[in-house]
Amino acid sequence: MNIKFEYNKDLTSLNTFRISAKAAIYAEYKNMDELRSITLSEEFMDNEVFYLGGGSNVLFNGDYHGLVIKSQIKGIKKYQKNEETVFAIAGAAENWADFVKWTIDEGLGGLENLSGIPGSVGASPVQNIGAYGVEVGSMIHKVECFDVITKETVTFTAEQCKFGYRDSFFKNEGKGRYVVLRVSFKLKNSTVAENLDYGPLKTLEEKWNRKPTISEVAEEVLKIRDSKLPDPSKIGSAGSFFKNPVVRIYFYREVMSALSPEIPYYETDDPLYVKIPAGWLIENAGLKGYSVGDAEVYPKQCLVIANKGRATAKDVIEVSEHVRKVVLEKFGVTLHPEVNIVDTNIKVTILGSGTSKGVPEVGCFCPVCRSDSAKDKRTRCSALVETKGLKLLIDVSPDFRQQALRSEITYLDAALITHSHYDHVGGFDDLRPFCTGSKFPVYMRKDVSEDLHRRLDYCFRETPYPGVPSFEVHEIDESPFIIKGVKIIPISVMHGKLPIAGYRIGDFAYVTDAKTIPEEEKEKLKDLDVLVLNGLRFKEHFAHFTVEEALKTIEELKPKRAYLTHFCHEIGRHDDFQSSLPDNVFACYDGLVINTH
């Protein structure tokens, strides 16, 4: 089958934010056979892949150095199950708002509250779109997908889709493997509207003393949307930029309402948690209309960031970072983007580059420990990895508090731990600012988790002292895992006799405290753009690579660039050491920023 690949494709008109970006390669498919052919192509195998839907919930953060593929699977049909129920089945590329209009014209009830939402049918189950009291998950009967691994179709029931608030199986475990082909909705064979929980819709019922029809509800919803949300034909945006944060009720009562008693909240299915309208927090933090370039906090609905004309992704990200920072400062809550931030670049900040004693060493007066250069002041090792809108911390060094202040880290999505030696986990208690609203996710091997439960038992008690940090511990093994859509590959390396974890994310890998890397694990470290690797000193050490061993490993693994870290003072002054290294090998220092590609 002949698939047409386009190169350097302009994506500006394919995203509702109207942000200018290019895809290195682009292809479309009209049916499953064409999609299968794409997945068998070299273009697919050799590149990172992004599946583009209606483009209404994405922010392209720079050009996409990979393959973007887009569905053109169209078609709508219906069949009657019984007198009350009708199934409507639509192709993934159908326009969502047009499809909802079709259901209303056909006299089928259920989706009317979701009128006017930009985007495609295929994206609706992925992010479980919702508005005015309804989430699409409650109307979904089945989702037919293509499995890019087996190359077969698989059908998921609503239960298997694991719908949550703006969340589903397809955004998590299923990401990158299942491509939505068609969605089947279970609708009511009735024109009487049933979902009237949202205030202004309830008012209609009270005013008319009868239930409104589905087209009356659709009309009202479109009116409300018009009054609050930017008209997609005039102003670029991706709808709500942030999710409404879900926080522990304890935190809401004791901290948030103590700060501002009038903060509204909604109950959730879990009595221990409440949902806070982020738009209210943003507006009441004084950020209405805040702008950078042409990117603006939309004044009529502060949850939206609008592109007033020529905003760049950088402008939008700057606005969103500022909003997150100010809302956190004012209300103690971290906002998380609802928009899918798409990039192939990874930004890594080396927060600390020193070995367990740090440099200068306490009580040492050698020339390195007395050096005036900032590059010779090495705190214990941690790194910050930023990609696809996430901030991931690798290890929580005892110096983490200073590092977070220096690098202005105001939020984190999760931490990945390599092993439980004190110089890599001693800062755990300083993660407190990141677990205020809810438990902070940390990923680690089983032995590390057992160690931490022992050492930090005060964090894991049934009724902990109020204010202690709380963690959601994910025990990992050798299998890759996914954090909010980002795939993490653990690399098992030997720290002397102790097996510990390194991590690969895209074209970047971070391995510290290794003395040997098993052959099968080396396979996972091939074709890297950037490798960060430990190289303690020149003299032999029983548990750490020497500089010579690290350079030999780099020669064998052939990353495009390598960065050495975890140094003791014997490495010498940074600048002298750097000048002794091969062209593609660099010595880390605290605060160093590395960008892939």
Report the residue number, 15 or 345, with the smaller CB distance to ligand EPU.
15
Report the residue number, 129 or 491, with the smaller CB distance to ligand EPU.
129
Q: Write down the catalytic residue from 120, 168, 240, 438.
A: 240
Q: In the annotation, is 579 catalytic?
A: no
Q: Write down the catalytic residue from 34, 56, 166, 445.
A: 166
Report the residue number, 266 or 538, with the smaller CB distance to ligand EPU.
266
Residues 56-95 that bind ligand EPU (CB under 6 A): none
DSSP, residue by residue, 197-211: -SHHHHHHHHHHTSP
Is 360 a residue that touches ligand EPU (CB under 6 A)?
Answer: no
- Give the nearest distance from C-beta 263 to ligand EPU in angstroms: 10
Say which residues have a Cβ less than 8 Å from residue 306's Cβ, sequence separation at least 6: 230, 235, 236, 237, 295, 296, 297, 298
- Give the nearest distance from C-beta 299 to ligand EPU in angstroms: 8
The one-letter amino acid code at 172 reads N
Positive or negative, the CA dihedral 58, 243, 113, 78 is positive
**CA distance linking residue 312 with residue 317, whole number of Å:** 9
Is 467 a residue that touches ligand EPU (CB under 6 A)?
Answer: no
Q: Which of 28, 112, 338, 395 binds ligand EPU (CB under 6 A)?
A: 338
- Give the nearest distance from C-beta 223 to ligand EPU in angstroms: 13
- Give the nearest distance from C-beta 173 to ligand EPU in angstroms: 22
**CA distance linking residue 556 with residue 578, whole number of Å:** 20
The SS3 call for residue 383 is strand
Buried b or exposed e, range 239-267, using 16+ CB within 10 angstroms: bbbbbbbbbbeebbeebbeeeeeebebee
**CA distance linking residue 544 with residue 571, whole number of Å:** 14
Residues 91-150 that bind ligand EPU (CB under 6 A): 131-132
- Give the nearest distance from C-beta 232 to ligand EPU in angstroms: 11
Q: Which of 15, 240, 379, 420 binds ligand EPU (CB under 6 A)?
A: 240
**CA distance linking residue 404 with residue 458, whole number of Å:** 23
Closest CA to 446 of 483, 404, 492: 492
Number of residues that bind ligand EPU (CB under 6 A): 17
Cis peptide before 245 (omega within 30 of 0): no
Is 243 a residue that touches ligand EPU (CB under 6 A)?
Answer: yes
Report the residue number, 301 or 382, with the smaller CB distance to ligand EPU.
301
Residues 271-310 that bind ligand EPU (CB under 6 A): 277, 279-280, 283, 301-303
Q: In the annotation, is 210 catalytic?
A: no
The one-letter amino acid code at 442 reads V
Report the residue number, 241 or 443, with the smaller CB distance to ligand EPU.
241
- Give the nearest distance from C-beta 264 to ligand EPU in angstroms: 5
- CA angle 438/442/444 to nearest 5° reads 160
The SS3 call for residue 464 is coil
Residues 200-239 that bind ligand EPU (CB under 6 A): 228-229, 239
Q: Write down the catalytic residue from 338, 353, 382, 504.
A: 338
| Strand residues in 467-506 grouped as ranges (E) | 471-476, 481-483, 486-495, 498-505
β-bridge partners, 213: 192
Report the residue number, 16 or 345, with the smaller CB distance to ligand EPU.
16
β-bridge partners, 142: 157, 184
- Give the nearest distance from C-beta 177 to ligand EPU in angstroms: 25
Q: In the annotation, is 386 catalytic?
A: no
Report the residue number, 109 or 239, with the smaller CB distance to ligand EPU.
239
Q: Which of 75, 200, 264, 582 binds ligand EPU (CB under 6 A)?
A: 264
Catalytic residues: 166, 240, 338
Binding site for ligand EPU (CB under 6 A): 131-132, 228-229, 239-240, 243-244, 264, 277, 279-280, 283, 301-303, 338
